[in-house]
């Protein structure tokens, strides 16, 4: 058996996502992870979008994302409502409803708990320490590798599983008639459990040159959950290139789109357009950190 090379590519486009996405093939992307500019924010770099116009602005983009995503793929949208004159705007809820009319399935909502959010005081609310991570799909049957994100059972298992009641040893159906149930005894002697839909991540990131970069752990978690090596990951609002950098490190192909030339050039200087990984039969590989440079499209 001969050795083979796995080629991992990183492509970036400079321009408006609404236009640049049209260059991508139908049903060609396995995972979309992105954080578009929030309403009325990043005005100096993205111009800002008024909350009342946000849904209208985003729908042509989500239409293209729907086209390029594989039926088995997933779209993860990081977004949060802003406060307007003392109350939360409803543009995120409006966007969810509008995207469902486009054909998207709103499958799940994850919460990004910012463990180190800045302190502050407001007259009618407390500080924001979480953001939404909305999961959309084209089909109810999509790729999901839950075992890749399992977590240690924790100290609770030592006491909770020590003495089990008769109810714990059989399937205990929900008392509200939801059809869900649990069997606690199934988790005896297990080291890991499936995580919740709350991600506890600090806001610090390696790149300080972008106004809204998220931590590498965020796209990494979703790349583990929804893709395999050699799959394609897309970020249509690339920013500082965090998603692309993580995808390359995890041996996933990636595509990024950025409208701001300064950010585009920064990523261009950081990432390689192609990474080659030598695949030897039977060998085990450690994670590698590729050199960060990239070519342009």
Which of 110-119, 132-141, 144-153: highest mean pLDDT? 132-141
The whole-number pLDDT of residue 121 equals 76
Please report which confidence band the pLDDT of residue 294 belongs to, taking 50, 70 and 90 as the band edges. Answer: very low
Asked if residue 98 lies in contact with residue 104, where contact means CB atoms within 8 angstroms, the answer is no
Residues 14, 78, 73, 222: what is their CA dihedral angle, to the nearest 10 degrees? 110
With 70 as the cut, is the pLDDT of residue 116 above it? yes
Could you tell me the domains of the chain?
A: 4-148+196-279 (3.40.50.150), 151-174+184-193 (no CATH)
Q: What is the mean pLDDT of the chain?
A: 82
Under DSSP, is residue 139 helix (H, G, I), strand (E, B) or coil?
A: coil
pLDDT band at residue 197, thresholds of 50, 70 and 90? very high
| Burial group, residue 62, by CB count within 10 angstroms (0-12, 13-18, 19+) | buried
Q: What pLDDT does residue 88 have?
A: 87
pLDDT score of 289 more than 50: no
Instruction: Give the model's confidence band at 190: pLDDT under 50 very low, under 70 low, under 90 confident, else very high.
Output: low
Q: What b-and-e string marks burial along 240-266, b requiring 16 or more CB atoms within 10 Å of the CB?
A: bbbbbbbbbbbbbbbbbbbbbeebbeb
pLDDT band at 211 (very low <50, low <70, confident <90, very high): very low
126 vs 102: which has the higher pLDDT: 102
> Is the predicted pLDDT of residue 38 greater than 50, yes or no?
yes
Q: What is the average per-residue pLDDT within 121-126?
A: 80
Neighbours of 154 (CB within 10 A): 10
Look at 130 and 185; give whichever has higher pLDDT: 130
pLDDT at 158: 56
**Average pLDDT of the segment spanning 85-111:** 95
Q: Buried b / exposed e across 19-56, counting CB within 10 Å, b at 16+?
A: ebbeebeeeebbbbbbbbbbbbebeebbeebebeebbe
CA distances from 221 to 46, 176, 225 (A): 27, 32, 6
In this structure, the chain runs to a length of 297
Please tell me the predicted confidence (pLDDT) of residue 39: 80
Q: How many CA atoms lie within 13 A of 277 on its CB side?
A: 22
Q: Tell me: pLDDT of 41 over 80.
A: no
Tokens of 249: 């490190």
Question: Does 222 or 214 have the greater pLDDT score?
Answer: 222
Q: Which residue has the higher pLDDT, 249 or 118?
A: 249
Q: Please compute the mean of the pLDDT values over residues 115-120 and round it to a whole number.
A: 76
* Residue 169: pLDDT band with limits 50, 70, 90: low
- The answer to whether the CB of 15 falls within 8 A of the CB of 295 is no
pTM of the full structure? 0.81
């Amino acid at each position: 058996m001969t050795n083979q090379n796995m080629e991992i590519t990183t492509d970036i486009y400079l321009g408006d996502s609404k236009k640049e996405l049209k260059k991508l093939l139908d049903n060609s992307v396995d995972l979309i992870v992105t954080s578009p500019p929030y309403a009325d924010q990043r005005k100096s770099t993205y111009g800002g979008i008024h909350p009342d116009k946000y849904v209208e602005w985003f729908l042509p983009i989500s239409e293209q994302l729907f086209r390029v995503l594989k039926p088995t793929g997933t779209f993860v949208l990081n977004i949060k409502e802003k406060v307007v004159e003392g109350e939360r705007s409803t543009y995120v809820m409006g966007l969810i409803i509008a995207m469902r009319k486009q054909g998207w399935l709103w499958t799940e909502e994850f919460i990004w708990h910012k463990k180190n959010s800045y302190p502050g005081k407001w007259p009618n609310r407390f500080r924001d320490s979480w953001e939404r991570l909305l999961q959309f799909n084209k089909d109810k049957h999509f790729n999901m590798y839950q075992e890749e994100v399992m977590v240690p059972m924790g100290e609770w298992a030592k006491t909770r599983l020590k003495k089990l009641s008769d109810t714990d040893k059989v399937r205990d159906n929900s008392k509200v008639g939801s059809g869900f149930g649990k069997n606690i005894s199934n988790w005896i002697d297990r080291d890991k459990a499936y995580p919740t839909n709350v991600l506890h991540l600090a806001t610090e990131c390696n790149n300080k040159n972008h106004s809204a970069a998220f931590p590498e752990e965020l796209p990494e978690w979703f790349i583990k959950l929804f893709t395999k090596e050699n799959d394609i990951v897309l970020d249509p609002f690339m920013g500082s290139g965090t998603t692309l950098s993580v995808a390359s490190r995890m041996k996933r192909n990636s595509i990024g789109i950025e409208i701001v030339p300064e950010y585009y050039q920064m990523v261009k200087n950081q990432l390689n357009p192609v990474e080659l990984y030598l695949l030897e039969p039977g060998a085990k590989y450690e994670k590698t950190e590729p050199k960060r440079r990239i070519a342009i499209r």
